[in-house]
Amino acid sequence: MIPAFSRTILAQAKLQEAGPSPDELYDIVELAPATSIWRIVFYSLLTLLLLAGVTLIAWYFLKSRRPVAAKDSPVLIAQRQLRDLEQSEGEHDPNRYALALSETLKDFLAATFADPVRYETTQEFLGRLSRQGTSLPPAAQQELRDFLIAAEEVKFGNAPGSEARTAPLLQKAKNLLSLCNSINSGSGHKQPRRG
């Protein structure tokens, strides 16, 4: 004989195997909203922005503590560029070579004498030279005029002998650089008159 307690357990087990009856109530389950992905995205972006800000601040402080290197003078920069152009003379076509020479000289003159020749075409420079003059010394004005005209002939002339004209053009650029350097260093060392 099976005790009464065991019979009830067996009866409940058979009922569970058979499944719930149609009028039986189910357990109440509380529905909760699913975790939003936007919250995760927001906090991830916030973390990335914070890390980027910390990195940027650290980079700024490290950069500001670094000693500032002495800036090369315009003469040294122009001499270096002319030396580089002289070494690569055969590598460039003549019009690019002449353009690089004239850009080097214009950069030097703009930095040394604060003349706007860097931002003018040859025609604009020559027109300004004939109308009002420039801030360049008179000797340098004539040399620059001759150089720019010769450079324009090489750049835009498309003559068959343009390659042969690049060496004299380089020499004119060197002469103009040394002339301007001597004028600039000569005027910088003059003592004012006392009277």
Least confident of 22-26, 37-41, 51-55, 88-92: 22-26
Amino acid at 55: T
What does the alpha-carbon distance between residue 98 and residue 151 come to, in Å, rounded to a whole number? 5
All domains in the chain, ordered by first residue: 74-186 (1.20.120)
pTM over the 0.85 mark: no
Q: What is the CA radius of gyration of the chain?
A: 42
Spell out a b/e string for 46-55, using b for 16 or more CB atoms within 10 Å of the CB, else e.
eeeeeeeeee
**How confident is the model at residue 55, as a pLDDT?**
95
pLDDT band at 53 (very low <50, low <70, confident <90, very high): very high
CB distance 133 to 48 below 8 Å: no
Q: What is the Cα–Cα distance from 91 to 99, expressed in whole angstroms?
A: 14
Question: pLDDT tens, 165-194?
Answer: 777 888 888 888 888 888 877 665 333 333
Q: What percent of the chain has pLDDT over 70?
A: 77
pLDDT of residue 44: 94
Residue 84 in tokens: 């580089």
Q: Is the pLDDT of residue 45 over 60?
A: yes
